A and B are shown apart, each in its own frame.
Chain A
């Protein structure tokens, strides 16, 4: 089956720093989502982005489907950005293992 790999597995940032999270997938996809799982366990939708680029405030995402990767950019990070970021692909979502982000004040 399709493999979804996220990097880095862990990331520690100082508040105000920028970061890029990567998601690689081993086969073609027609559906890709980014989620933020907050410290309370909620899965929050960030982007539905099977291809192209989208922006929402300090966050943006780009998916290059032909090269089988997606990137999530976080600019001017805040402590509330802490948590685990997941990408997931395909209609019945197959999740990566996540990137655990910790933003320090």
Chain B
């Protein structure tokens, strides 16, 4: 049973380029979350998506960042015109449900994409 898949695992971009990070949730999971872990900082929520819907993007920077989860294919986190401060580990998590006070909202994390901006 495959877990959450993310690719690429490592991504190097020069300032001003675009970074595109992909995430496929666990089988049977329809809720996807993106988190960012900056060097020496904790994990921070960015965005929560379901198929074709952005439910909560309150943790995403207002500019340059966008996310989608199309009907077909993986969820994409897109960072335009990257800057050095975007260098971080980006983790995707998925769960079978959300908002319930039970095991259905347990979030399982993928291996992450480590973005380095030169």
A and B held together in a complex? no
Residues of chain B touching chain A, judged by Cβ–Cβ distance below 8 Å, are: none
Residues of chain A touching chain B, judged by Cβ–Cβ distance below 8 Å, are: none
